[in-house]
Structure 1
Amino acid sequence: MNNKESENDGVLVADKLILELMNNLLDSGRTLFTDNWYTSVGLARRLTTRGTHLVGTLRSNRKCNPKNVITASLNRGQIFGMESDDGITVLKWKDKGDVLMLSTKHGIQTTNIGQRQKPVAIIDCNAAKSFIRCL
């Protein structure tokens, strides 16, 4: 399966799949954590209108990504991000490599991890992934 837009409405196939699978869980204040295959600004907008947060890693080539975040040149430990008027934050953090995140639950706030700062969105996403691996 690929993640192409459906011919009729321009919605990504992955977005439709997630909305269908999550249908009975929407409108209840939950948070969905996704990997970069599923995360998109379009999905974030759709989920936000249904009372559901989205947090996940983001591919740099997705439509509607803020170009100045994607192309920002950072040194290790630096963070740069933007928040839209509808509460979607896209951020880039430089660790060993660039990490792109999207969150409707977090801003660009960081927390101290040892001797460095790390975005809270990444900490929460990693915790969710660890929980899933334990099941």
Structure 2
Amino acid sequence: MCGKLKLSTWKVQLAVLQAMKAYFQGLLLLEKGNEDMNALSQILTEACTALTYSLENKSYSSVRTEALSVVDLIVKRTGESEQWDCMPVRSREQLQRSLSTLQSDSRPELRDKAQELWVELECECSHSG
């Protein structure tokens, strides 16, 4: 899925983002008590890198909106399962950079959500590590 996000039309990107959302909703590695930290870390690294392209998509707000909802889901589930250590610092920083670009988006709901997630990632970065 991650590979398809970069070089596809916006409709394909949207479909991939929706599939990613479903994937992360059901991902058992994001349950509390997960023992396979390496696998989760690899998945999050790949996903975060791919999501930055969609978050920074200047042309389609639908792609940015969907990417933001995937990031929101990842942040929520990672927090709920207390697995921040599985998200490499570099991935968090990548997401934060992309969220920063969204904070100047023309759509206020995207700006606000990006700001909220940026702050959440910032808090988690300073607590773990």
TM range (shorter): 0.3 to 0.5
- Structure number with bigger Rg: 1
TM-score of the aligned structures, taking structure 1 as reference length? 0.32
Higher relative contact order (CA 8 A, sep 6+): 2
Higher helix share: 2
